[in-house]
Structure 1
Amino acid sequence: MVRDTASHCRTGISWHSLSEYEIYEKLATGEKGLSSQEAATRILEFGKNELPESKRASVFTIFLSQFKSPLIYVLIAAALLSWFLDHLTDTAFITVVILVNAVIGTIQEWKAEQSAKALQQLFRITAVVTRDGHEIRIPAEELVPGDLVYLEAGTRVPADLRITQVADCSIDESVLTGESVPVTKKVTTLPEEIPISDQENMAFAGTTVVRGICRGFIVNTGICTEVGKIAVAVADTTLSKPPLIIRMEKFSQHIAVAVLVATAVLGIIAVYQGMGIIDVFFFAVALAVSAIPEGLPVALTVVLSIAAHRMAGRHVIVRKMTAVESLGSCTLIASDKTGTLTMNEQTAHIVLLPGRDSFQVTGTGYTGEGSIHTHKGEHLSETDLHQVQRLCHIAALCSEAQLERIDEGWHHSGDPIDVAFLALAHKSGLDTSLIQKSVERSLFIPFEADRRYSAAGFTDATGERFGIKGAAEAVLPHCIRMRTSAGDEEVDQALLLAKAEELAVDGYRVLAVAEAVSP
């Protein structure tokens, strides 16, 4: 049971604008975190760190909901009239149709509910928290305001927290702000009136650490977090009827009116021709029952069930079958791009070596599935492939990301751009895990927004070398030569920067990779 936000949320506090001492004071905490006893008291006061969930429907409830349709009401009325007329065959047939329709709908929606429940279980996370002066790992639901939490690359932020210690930490906040570029976090005090996207000393629930480590004190949990406020707003939304239900209501009304008018007209004609009143009544009822399309509800349910099954094959859970038709009725969809229309996964599409035509890269997302070929679709020559692999080799050593195949899937962690480079390396035929484990890296300079590049010093089979990876305008000033198909030549910065600008205009994020031999 989730508490009402007004009962325990600390509103009106700009946590990002407070000093570290003020954070300690307002949260009644310290560098050693909370005691277990204090944490137990606070979880009673603030509630569990979880978002509101609607009450899950039982199988019986789902079964009963299948009868909430105007056309089903008409069929039930037809079954009752058939039973009243002692037409048991018609009564049995209509009843079977109603039950088959209900069973098909129940099975589909129950399976969707179970899939949604299983999916939510996958997102249960734990957190490393300091309790009684010791770091322990606990379920994220047990976190309370004032807890000191440790975050590292690859972990999901369990609650809103104010960062007090940081080491080259960047957090992907696209789920909250829509910005695909990770935010570099800092230990600082910020002005009070700034948007969430500019709060560099805060980490928000639901976001993901892509690089580095940090520690911070939890300031809000559950529905008091920024993502929790969104969840509450969505939960309070009044749902409207799906287009299919609206059209079925109109259709049922039209059928009812048409049947009543037809039976009335034919009844009057029959009476005028001398038929008895009782016979006219039975004739009118029989006509009304025969005019009702008993098979239509089943046909609709089967069609919607097939559509829901097809969407499930595309990893979409359809919890209400009428939602399929609602989606098909949309004429305009307004949507955020990052993570909604796109998957928020960076992918290398073009590789450009100096003095050569560009190479195309197939495959999308953070996987090694794809290939590199010329713009004519031909395989790379041995020389070109070697140069591309060398580029990927350097890029892999200039990153802290990981990308490896586990069972039948790909697992990744770290900065999105670094992971995209590792995916490119796999497509070129390299094993990035082997490179990162076998090559000794003597120096590493992590990426920073003001520096705009990362670099590494390493020793491999070719000797001691230094690699750099970053924005073209940040890397090229450090270069004196470029490797073309004709050999090493003096670097033409103007030409390369013009090409980079040309690609940027087309919507590409352009990065450069270079290496140097240690003197």
Structure 2
Amino acid sequence: MLLTPTDPHSQPTERCLVAVESVLGGLTSTEAERRLAQHGPNRLPKAHSRGPVRRFVAQFHNVLIYVLIAAAVVTGALQHWVDTGVILAVVLANAVIGFIQEGKAEAAMAAIRGMLAPRAAVLRDGARLSVDGADLVPGDIVLLEAGDKVPADLRVLEARGLAAQEAILTGESVPVEKTVDPVAPDAALGDRRSMLWSGTLITQGTARGLVVATGAATEIGRIGGLLAGVEQLKTPLVAQMDHFARWLSLLILLFAGLLLAYGYYVRHYEFSELFIAVVGVAVAAIPEGLPAVMTIALAIGVQAMARRNAIIRRLPAIEAIGSVSVICTDKTGTLTRNEMVVAAAETPEGVFEISGEGYAPEGEITPAGSLEDLARAAALCNDAELRLRDGHWTVEGDPMEGALLAFAGKVMKDPRTGARRLDAIPFDARHRYMAVLTEGPEGRVTSVKGAPERVLRMCRDIDLKHWHDRAEALARRGLRVLALAETTEASGKIDANSLEGQLVFLGLVGLIDPPRPEAIAAVAECRAAGIRVKMITGDHAGTAAAIAAQVGLANPGRVLTGAELDKLDDAQLALEVASVDVFARTSPEHKLRLVTALQANGLSVAMTGDGVNDAPALKRADAGIAMGLKGSEAAKEAADLVLADDNFASIAAAVREGRTVYDNLKKVISWTLPTNAGESMVVILALLAGFALPITAIQILWINLITGITLGIALAFEPTETGTMARPPRRRDASILSGELVWHVALVALLFLAAVFGIFTYAIDRGYPLELAQTMAMNTLVVLEIFHLFFIRNIHGTSLTWAAARGTKIVWAVVVAITAAQFAVTYFIPAQAILGTRAVPLWDGILIVGVGVAFFAVIEIEKQIRLGLSQ
């Protein structure tokens, strides 16, 4: 019977391989159908999700929404239809946004499901045939060649020069050689050379593989399971606003009920008038416009970030990216270019450094020297081709061979000119070198490249120990080292045996996937902003450490590997993760654990990545950032933010925009709460003390309507303040209701009370009618709110500057509109009949503006004293 192992981590034994070899004709059609019924199709299961109607209705399950709906019912009963419409529009907008966001997890799962290969070549009934990838079953024998996508998790049975690109799973930037040899049971994913993983790409060679896992049992399927089970955290602001809105709404409703009972039973007010006044107090106190203004502020941030090549997929993520204190970044394609280059060469003549970017055959060699023989061998023993497309050099073939071609082009022009290939020994993991026989103007030459430990043994008249040490020295720099040699003693064909001990050693080359220059500057900017950058990669520890040092990470010398992470429990990991900045040879579970451990320390974490292996951690992070150009669809769907240019530097710009958005949201909150408190306290004090109402309930509703959202919207457009990136990130558990904000709410509410009652008392003392006194009090409230707006525009500095007074176009447009509206309801006779207002005399109007100026002076002086004490 054909071997059908179900554990992809197990390794083939000799007896198992014999059993496989005896039935290389593959499964019979009948057996394949039976196993398909047993194991199911080779696709990921579709995640169970609620229907669209239930998802939409669930968006209304929120205390603040309940209160807003109740307020809409009350205002509707009072026939204040404009208020009713505004409140209902806010409720509906929040529901629609939440409904759209709910589908993100399902989209991420769908993106991973799409990674499975659509067709596969298999052996069935002793013949080769093409089947749908979904019809593969454990035990199938799959035939693969260069360019094929691996359709399921396979154990390699036969391999000829086989290599696979596994960056989407391991983060390793170069193709991995594959063999039939077993490895240790606890080997890391990237070291399991006898396995091919579903969704990866064959870059060279041919293979036969035995299907050991399909669908959800594959490595990609396991990541999909991780993704489905990852809890997505609310951003700090959203969580705090949910908590704050819930308790504030309950407090206001409770206080309104007590006020109603006090006014009716103690003060014996007429119930209908008292009820309308209490409703006015409740609507004034509840910040019903806050969700709408927050949504607008976030939407403005979306547009600003899009201009910086950062595409937001989820509105609250804007605030999250602005608050991050740690960025966990992948290496390949994120900090690095995902393009191999030759960075160094060493020959018997000396050590040479090679500059240049990408696969362009342009760069400098320092110091100048004779590298023609080394460059010619690198070009001749090579199957890749370089192409110039749209001004950008690309490689067709193996990335390392493309890098060798670019190196050869930097040394000499047309290194392959006149050479004709006669014979070749393809690279094979068993002999670990490639040899090519060519004929040119100078005769026949055999060029060889391969692993230094193998090629050096084939060379004559060299100091083996010296060159082994030199190869190790290059490797310690994080370079991947190849040795090149040649011989002119060649016939018409290459005889592998005749090469042993006959080669002339030419030199060593060191290749690396170099860091992006802009990433180095971005890391420095993030560190200056108090943000720690940590690298989490599936690549080797030496390579990771070298790149970490080049990009400027805080602690590049200490590297923690995945195997070492497995030995740490969660408590130990939470301690280690604070001081270690480089993590190598990691798996998806490791990335997820690291993000969770950082969050356990109270840190807000951004995770960047581009592979399928990054998706679970992207979803778990406070802000998941995917690469837009080279990133997988699974990573993009799991992320909150996608970088359109794959540029790490865009993250620093996104952080700046995110901090600006948070500052503006804080300004909106810092403006809304004090003004709402001031409005409501004016009526509450009058009811409690038995005074005549300085402002009627309908006038309170009018003020709430024209200022509650409009002035808040103006704050949402505020530009970035000076020194935004010089401030340290706020803590994840930092309360939105800071002591400073509570003090500001109390101070402004008291000043509102003093100003409104002062103007109201002044008007009554002058013998003005009650309606005129109430009109003056109403206009005083509006003036105070406008001056408060100019004050709150600069929460981190002084407001007494020309730039602060000049404001923005939005600010002045809103102020002019509100002023015009107030003039209309004060002097327009039909409006007077509706709101019970009277025309205010000119000098009394000037007095009201003067009260606003005095109010601004008091709160600005208080701010300067507070800022001075905090320095």
TM-score, normalised to structure 1, is: 0.72
1:79-98 residue pairs with structure 2 within 5 A? 79-98=72-91
Distance 2:85 2:412 in 1: 66
Contact 1:109 1:318 in 2 (8 A): no
- What is the aligned partner in structure 2 of residue 417 from structure 1? 400
- Measure how far apart 1:149 and its partner are: 0.5
1:140 equivalent to 2:133? Answer: yes
Contact 2:165 2:203 in 1 (8 A): yes
Rate the CA distance shift 1:400–1:39 in 2: closer, same or farther, 3 A.
farther
Question: Counterpart of 1:394 in structure 2: which amino acid?
Answer: A
Rate the CA distance shift 1:248–1:477 in 2: closer, same or farther, 3 A.
same
Q: Secondary structure at the match of 2:24?
A: coil
1:22-421 residue pairs with structure 2 within 5 A? 23-24=19-20, 30-55=23-48, 64=57, 67=60, 70-103=63-96, 121=114, 124-173=117-166, 175-176=168-169, 182-188=175-181, 199-257=192-250, 259-260=252-253, 263=256, 275-305=269-299, 320-326=314-320, 328-332=322-326, 337=330, 339=332, 345-348=338-341, 350-352=343-345, 354=349, 358-363=353-358, 368=359, 371-373=362-364, 394-401=377-384, 404=387, 414-421=397-404
Rate the CA distance shift 1:146–1:356 in 2: closer, same or farther, 3 A.
closer
- Measure how far apart 1:130 and its partner are: 1.9
Per-residue deviation, residues 155-202 of structure 1 (Å, max 9, x unmatched)? 232212232222122334455556556543333567777666555433
Question: Counterpart of 2:382 in structure 1: which amino acid?
Answer: S
Higher helix share: 2
- What is the aligned partner in structure 2 of residue 485 from structure 1? none
1:509 equivalent to 2:470? Answer: no
- Measure how far apart 1:508 and its partner are: 2.9
- What is the aligned partner in structure 2 of residue 17 from structure 1? 13
1:479-494 residue pairs with structure 2 within 5 A? none
- Measure how far apart 1:300 and its partner are: 3.1
- Measure how far apart 1:303 and its partner are: 4.3
Question: Counterpart of 1:297 in structure 2: which amino acid?
Answer: P
- Measure how far apart 1:282 and its partner are: 1.7
- Measure how far apart 1:49 and its partner are: 0.6
Rate the CA distance shift 1:506–1:473 in 2: closer, same or farther, 3 A.
same
- Measure how far apart 1:214 and its partner are: 1.0
Distance 1:318 1:109 in 2: 15
Distance 1:169 1:340 in 2: 24
Q: Secondary structure at the match of 2:480?
A: coil
Worse-superposed segment, 81-90 or 63-72: 63-72
Per-residue deviation, residues 66-108 of structure 1 (Å, max 9, x unmatched)? 5455544443333233223322110011222333444566668
Distance 2:372 2:259 in 1: 85
Contact 1:165 1:215 in 2 (8 A): yes
- What is the aligned partner in structure 2 of residue 5 from structure 1? none
Contact 1:465 1:517 in 2 (8 A): yes
Question: Counterpart of 1:168 in structure 2: which amino acid?
Answer: G
Contact 1:171 1:185 in 2 (8 A): yes
Q: Secondary structure at the match of 1:31?
A: coil
Rate the CA distance shift 1:110–1:405 in 2: closer, same or farther, 3 A.
farther
Rate the CA distance shift 1:297–1:51 in 2: closer, same or farther, 3 A.
same
Contact 1:154 1:413 in 2 (8 A): no
Distance 2:226 2:327 in 1: 20
Rate the CA distance shift 1:319–1:54 in 2: closer, same or farther, 3 A.
farther
Contact 1:211 1:400 in 2 (8 A): no
- Measure how far apart 1:249 and its partner are: 1.5
Distance 1:513 1:11 in 2: 40
Distance 2:308 2:33 in 1: 43
- What is the aligned partner in structure 1 of residue 424 from structure 2? 444
TM-score, normalised to structure 2, is: 0.46
Per-residue deviation, residues 218-257 of structure 1 (Å, max 9, x unmatched)? 1221122344334324423455544343212222034325
Structure 2: gaps (5+ residues): 491-871
Q: Secondary structure at the match of 1:372?
A: coil
Per-residue deviation, residues 252-279 of structure 1 (Å, max 9, x unmatched)? 0343255346646765775666632332
Rate the CA distance shift 1:284–1:42 in 2: closer, same or farther, 3 A.
same
- What is the aligned partner in structure 1 of residue 449 from structure 2? 469
Higher Rg: 2
Rate the CA distance shift 1:502–1:34 in 2: closer, same or farther, 3 A.
closer
Question: Counterpart of 2:278 in structure 1: which amino acid?
Answer: A
Rate the CA distance shift 1:351–1:237 in 2: closer, same or farther, 3 A.
closer
- What is the aligned partner in structure 1 of residue 434 from structure 2? 454
Worse-superposed segment, 322-331 or 88-97: 322-331
Contact 1:452 1:470 in 2 (8 A): yes
Q: Secondary structure at the match of 1:298?
A: helix
Structure 1: gaps (5+ residues): 1-7, 482-490
- The percent identity for this pair of structures is 35
Distance 1:495 1:137 in 2: 52
